[in-house]
Chain A
C-alpha cells in the first residue's frame, strides 16, 4: 500500500449507483480491459476516454449504491484509478473495491473541497486528504488494521493465497 497517493481529481455527485458506473447491459462482459471502456458511461461519460492512470475519483455521498456487481470497481481498477474517495460509500461497493486492492477512503466533507482536475494528496497513515491547489483538507479515520492488511497484501486474492499457503495442515496444492 502506498503511504502517499497523489493524483488528478474527477468529481462526482451523490448517489452514483453501480448502474451509472457499469450499465446492466454490460454485465456479461468480464474482461476488465473491455469494461474500462464502458466505465461511468452514465455517471461521467467523458471519464473513460479522458482519464489517466493514477487519477482519483472524489464523489459525494453513497457512491456505488445498488447492485453487488464487481464489474464496477473492476472497471475502475482497469482504468487505473489511484484511489476512490467519497463522503460515503454503499457497503458492497466498498468491500468489493477494497478486496480488489483499490485504496477506498470514506472522508465526510471531501467532495466539497475539490473541483475537477484539482490535485489531491492522500496521506494514508495520517488520514488526511489535501487539495494541493487550494490547501484545503479533510481528515478521515485511519482504516482498521484488517483493511490495511488487505491493501498491504494487494487485495483479497493475495491475502487468501498466503493464508492457504501457510496452512500447516493444508493438503491443498499451492499454485506457483
Chain B
C-alpha cells in the first residue's frame, strides 16, 4: 500500500519507521519490528549484561552498531559506579564491542554519538538513556529504552515499536539577541506540557527551525523527552550533511515528510519578540517569561552550566560572552561541565577554561555532573540552582525540596553573576 493510497502522506517518523520495519508504509498504532541502526549504552548498560546472558545470547548482532559511552560517574565516584564500569568493560571484552568511550576519551553519551557521527539521517537509534531523543536532530528516530530491552536489541538487532502519531511544532519568527534555542524549547514545553506528546513523535518544522544550527537542533530535540515524546526530530538538510561530512559512521538514507502528511496536531509558535524563558520548580513545563521571574529576585546558591541539553562548545562560548570581564557572585557556586572531552579540549585551546575559572567558576571534566543528583554538584534541601539542564523534578539534584530553575546557558551565567535569576540581555 502506497502512502497516497491511504489518502494522506507520511510524517518523518512514519517514513523512518517504515524503512526500519521493512515496509513500504506504516500507519500510527501499527506495531513493527524495527531494525536498529545504532544502539547506545551508558552505565545503565551494566544491567543489560545479565538479561543478555539469561536470554541465552552469546553474540551481539553487529558490534559496529553498538556504542558504549559512560558519563554519569566519570571517573567513578563510588564503589558502586566502579563496579558498573567494570561490568561494562568486561562485557565489551567478552562480546567484542570495540566502540567504548572510556575515561579519558569520554563524554555525555548523546554528545558522543553526535560528534562522532554515529547517527545519520533516516536511522533508527536506541539508547539506554531517556534523552536519546537528542539524536533526532540528525533526521533520525532516536528513542530511549531500558536495559532489559537493550539486551534483546543486542541479541536480535531489532525491537518492537508502536508507530506513533506525530505532533508537529511549527516555528516562525526570529530569535532576538540573548534569546536562544533553549528558550524556544522551554516555550514549546509550556504549551505542549510534560504529557502533551507522550508515546508520540515530535517533528520540528518551519523557517525558524531551518535556520537553527545543528547544536541548536540538538538542544530542541533533547527536551522533546520532557514532552513525553518517544522521539523528536528535525528533517535533514544541508546543515545536517555538512555536520556529518567526514564523520558519519555509516551511509545516510535521508527521508522527508510528505507535504500532505497527517499530523495529530500542529502547535504554532512565533518567536518574534519572545523573551528568554525559564522553567520553574518542580516541572519542566512550569514555564514563565524570565523577566517576570527576575523581578521576583529569586536568589540562587548554585549555577550549573552543563548537561546533554546545553554544554556544547557553542553553549560555553555563549556563557563566556556573558561572563567576560565579570565575576561569579560571592554567594554562588558556579559549576561548568562540558558535554565531552573534545569540547573540554576545545575550551582549553580557546581560553574558556581560564575565562570561567578566573571569574570564580569550577570547570570540571566532562560528565552528566550536577544534572541528575547522583554524583557531584548536589544541592542542600533549602538551596536553589539555576541550570542549563533539562529536568527540575523534586529530588533531581538530590533532596526533594531543592529548587531548580531551567534556562539557557546565557541566563545561567547571568544568574551566576548576579546571585539571582537575571535577564541575560542586561549583560550583552
Contact present for B84 and A91 (CB under 8 Å): no
Which of A23, A71, A88, A144 is close to B395, meaning CB atoms less than 8 Å apart? A23
Q: How many residues of A contact B (CB 8 A)?
A: 47
A31 nearest in chain B by CB position: B80
B78 at the interface (CB under 8 A from A): yes
Contact present for B72 and A99 (CB under 8 Å): no
A170 nearest in chain B by CB position: B56
Contact present for A66 and B56 (CB under 8 Å): no
Contact present for B55 and A157 (CB under 8 Å): yes
B116 at the interface (CB under 8 A from A): no
Shortest beta-carbon distance, A141 to chain B, in Å?
11
Residues of A within 8 A of B243 (CB): none
B6 at the interface (CB under 8 A from A): no
Which of B56, B81, B84 is close to A161, meaning CB atoms less than 8 Å apart? B56
Residues of A within 8 A of B144 (CB): 68, 92
Shortest beta-carbon distance, B163 to chain A, in Å?
12
**A-facing residues in B243-294 (Cβ within 8 Å):** 283
Contact present for B56 and A19 (CB under 8 Å): no
B208 at the interface (CB under 8 A from A): no
A25 to B70, CA, bound (A): 17
A128 to B385, CA, bound (A): 45
Residues of B within 8 A of A28 (CB): 43, 73, 78, 80-81, 83-84, 374
Contact present for A68 and B148 (CB under 8 Å): no
Provide the B138-181 mask, 1 if CB < 8 A to any CB of A, else 0.
Answer: 00000011111101100110001010000000000000000000
Contact present for A157 and B391 (CB under 8 Å): no
Contact present for B395 and A20 (CB under 8 Å): yes
Which of B44, B83, B162 is close to A68, meaning CB atoms less than 8 Å apart? B44
Given contacts A19-B396, A42-B394, A62-B228, contact A68 B146 (CB under 8 A): yes
Q: Which stretch in B193-201, B337-345, B352-360, B420-428 binds the other chain?
A: B193-201
Contact present for B194 and A65 (CB under 8 Å): yes
A90 at the interface (CB under 8 A from B): yes
**B-facing residues in A91-135 (Cβ within 8 Å):** 91-92, 95-96, 99-100
Residues of B within 8 A of A157 (CB): 51, 54-55, 148, 151
Q: How big is chain B's contact interface, by range?
A: 35 or more
Which of A24, A65, A96 is close to B374, meaning CB atoms less than 8 Å apart? A24
Residues of B within 8 A of A161 (CB): 54-56
A72 to B84, CA, bound (A): 17
Contact present for B78 and A164 (CB under 8 Å): no
Given contacts A28-B83, A164-B57, A173-B58, contact A92 B145 (CB under 8 A): yes
Residues of B within 8 A of A30 (CB): 46-47, 84
Which of A68, A100, A156 is close to B128, meaning CB atoms less than 8 Å apart? A68
**A-facing residues in B16-59 (Cβ within 8 Å):** 31, 43-44, 46-47, 51, 53-59
B393 at the interface (CB under 8 A from A): yes
Given contacts A30-B84, A69-B44, A95-B146, contact A62 B195 (CB under 8 A): yes
A17 to B155, CA, bound (A): 30
Contact present for B198 and A25 (CB under 8 Å): no
Contact present for A27 and B72 (CB under 8 Å): yes
A93 nearest in chain B by CB position: B146
B285 nearest in chain A by CB position: A15
A19 to B371, CA, bound (A): 12
Contact present for A24 and B396 (CB under 8 Å): yes
Shortest beta-carbon distance, A25 to chain B, in Å?
5
A29 to B145, CA, bound (A): 19
B373 at the interface (CB under 8 A from A): yes
**B-facing residues in A60-95 (Cβ within 8 Å):** 61-62, 65-71, 73-74, 88-92, 95
Q: What are 13 sample pairs from A and B whose C-beta atoms fall under 8 A apart?
A: A19-B396, A24-B373, A24-B374, A25-B373, A30-B84, A62-B194, A67-B130, A74-B47, A91-B228, A96-B148, A164-B155, A173-B58, A175-B53
